[in-house]
Copies of this chain bind each other. A is one copy, B any other.
Amino acid sequence: MEAKHQLHSENYAADISSIKDAHGRISPFIHRTPVLSSESLNYIAGKKLFFKCECFQKGGAFKFRGACNAIFSLMDDQAAKGVVTHSSGNHAAAVSLAAKLRGIPAYIVIPKNAPKCKVENVRRYGGQVIWSEATMPSRESVAAKILQETGAAMVHPFNDGRIISGQGTISLELLEQVPQIDTIVVPISGGGLISGVALAAKSINPSIRVLAAEPRGADDAARSKAAGKIVKLSETNTIADGLRAFLGDLTWPIVRDLVDDIITVEDKEIIEAMRMCYEILKVAVEPSGAIGLAAVLSDGFQKNPAWNECKHIGIILSGGNVDLGVLWESLNK
């Protein structure tokens, strides 16, 4: 499939060149996260697995790469006015931290029903919390008002070439750390992470397969691929709170063209993967972060002959921001 497409920015919002630029820009600020492996998990999966631990990234998730690239890409006069976002999750903390490092204000619009720990994360990194109602229209209108008042720049969580480029830096590191990787399994939500990862990986090695892992209860990307156009769901239902967004107009073409398949998994498979990450890898991984392992262990992957030749599999553990109580409760359900 990849041969049909030129992996250039004329076609897509990012390319290998913008991703390499991003890596140069953010390298002084990010952690080059380690890759872990486990013979026990290799045995269980029947594959060699390589876990890229973005849960150890600053802010506890890969989101810092994209936010850092977007914020350090701003011209000085634009940057001085600050940045705005209305995500309440890992992206909000990442934007706060990157803005703090650049020394500019970060205005974070947070719905009143957001979990306390996420609000605290934003404040800890110096973000200015601005409350909205829980609805998306309220979040967007509050953000628009701040944009107008401050002249700050919007930093979208995924539908932005600078964000996609930042997330793609994961592939540069991973393929340097483990050159024999033939497959990468990536959580999919709005598509920023997998878009960057796929663009970089397939530019470096066109034969690498990129597979998305998606919760059954928020399977808009799988439906979109099947329909050949962006499908949005009227509701989502999954423990993976970071995987509830829908594809954007910049991420969709990349997902459509470069993602080889989307593997959907049940929440109980995600929870079991979280347990394995904790007990075997000794790593705290949030549900959205553990889904790649869940996908590789699922029938959808194991029993599909198309993936028999996948031998060396990179799995992106995308984040580790899971409350211990939540982990414990979900494991005991």
Tell me if A217 counts as interface (CB < 8 A to partner B).
no
Contact A324:B279 (CB < 8 A) given known A34-B34, A39-B58: yes
Contact between A320 and B282, CB atoms less than 8 A apart: yes
**Candidates B31, B34, B327; contact of A324 at CB < 8 Å:** B327
Interface residue ranges of A1-37 to B (CB < 8 Å)? 31, 34, 36-37
Q: Chain A interface residue count: which class?
A: 20 to 34
A282, B284: Cβ atoms under 8 Å?
yes
**Number of chain copies forming the complex:** 2
Given contacts A56-B281, A282-B55, A284-B283, contact A325 B324 (CB under 8 A): no
- Chain B residues with CB under 8 Å of A58's CB are 39
- Determine the distance from Cα of A58 to Cα of B38 in the docked complex, in whole angstroms: 8
* A98–chain B nearest beta-carbon distance, Å: 13
- In the complex the two chains form, what is the Cα distance from A40 to B97 in whole Å? 12
| Chain B residue with the shortest CB-CB distance to A280 | B60
Q: Does A134 belong to the interface (CB within 8 Å)?
A: no
Whether the Cβ atoms of A328 and B320 lie closer than 8 Å is no
Nearest CB of B to A328, in Å: 4
A331 within 8 A of B: yes
**Is A278 a contact partner of B36 (Cβ separation < 8 A)?**
no
In the complex the two chains form, what is the Cα distance from A4 to B305 in whole Å? 67
Contact of A284 among B31, B36, B278, B328 (CB under 8 A): B278
A147 vs chain B, min Cβ distance (A): 30
* A55 partner residues in chain B, CB cutoff 8 A: 282
Contact residues of A between 251 and 302, Cβ < 8 Å to B: 275, 278-279, 281-285
Complex Cα gap A279–B59 (Å): 11
Whole-angstrom CA separation of A281 from B34 in the bound complex: 13
B56 touches A282 (CB 8 A): yes
| A60, B284: Cβ atoms closer than 8 Å | no
Cα of A31 to Cα of B324 in the assembled complex, Å: 27
Residue in chain B with minimal CB distance to A36 = B56
CA A60 – CA B279 in complex, angstroms? 9
Mark A residues whose CB is within 8 Å of B: 31, 34, 36-37, 39-40, 55-56, 58, 60, 124, 275, 278-279, 281-285, 320, 324-325, 327-328, 331
* Shortest 10 CB-CB contacts between residues of A and residues of B: A282-B320, A34-B34, A282-B284, A328-B328, A55-B282, A278-B284, A36-B56, A278-B324, A56-B282, A60-B282
